[in-house]
Amino acid sequence: MRREAWSYVLALCGLAQASACAPRARPLAGAPVPTVRFPDTRLPSGARRVVFTWEFQDQDGFSAKGEGVGRIVAPDSARMDFFLTGGYGGGWAILIGDRLSTPGPDIIRRLVPPAPLLWATLGRVAVPAAADTSARVVGDTLRAEIGGDPRWRLTFVGPQLRRVERVDGGRIVEFVTRDGAALHYENTAARRSLTLHVQRTEEVGGFDASIWRP
């Protein structure tokens, strides 16, 4: 077998093994909801500043941590800055609508989740719309599926968004959970995770327009 073909086979095997690490998505529990109506997850009006600490880990044993600042403006703009502990640099991500930009060091591209899941960490539902949506309810918990394959799963407890999953091939390949001040993203297929611990949230008058430029 030629070297190029062998490399291609190894890459496919690696992808298959990564996918196999992702847990299977079980059927949604609860009573069917005939008409799906999600809680309102739009960003609060105005501008907010969120101060947090963060931790990152990946399958290669690499880990990093530090502090960060999120600058969020309704209806659909956010900038997340990550600073490494010890003053060893950092980077940032700019999210406007469904467009995510991660200029700077490669670690930021590894660290930050894709746009729909980054929005999920901030409590906003921004998954692609699809006609085939179903939902089930148990007590005050609403669970919904959007799309076919891949598809998205949302979990609300009361009015709060608690979990967003991306399901591909019947497996949960990525998810975000929101538990109070702890915001957790995990890519189960690639085996890497990011956890944010919110320290405080402040309402501010606004931000300079320059922060939205890559």
Q: What is the 3-state secondary structure (H, E, C) of the chain?
A: CCHHHHHHHHHHHHHHHHHHHCCECCCCCCEECCCCCCCCCCCCCCEEEEEEEEEEEECCCCEEEEEEEEEEECCCEEEEEEEECCCCCEEEEEEECCEEECCCCHHHHHHCCCHHHHHHHCCCCCCCCCCCEEEEEECCEEEEEEECCCEEEEEEECCEEEEEEEEECCEEEEEEEEECCEEEEEECCCCEEEEEEEEEEEEECCCCHHHHCC
Contact 24, 170 (CB under 8 A): yes
pTM of the full predicted structure?
Answer: 0.87
pLDDT of residue 125: 96
Mean pLDDT by groups of 10 residues along the chain of 214 residues: 35 42 89 89 96 94 93 97 86 96 85 96 93 90 92 96 96 97 95 97 96 89
Distance of alpha carbon 49 from alpha carbon 70, whole angstroms: 6
- Widest pairwise Cα distance in the chain: 63
Cα–Cα distance for residue pair 213/203, rounded to 1 Å: 22
Cα separation, 133 vs 147, whole angstroms: 6
| Cα–Cα distance for residue pair 120/112, rounded to 1 Å | 12
User: How high is the pLDDT of residue 20?
Assistant: 54
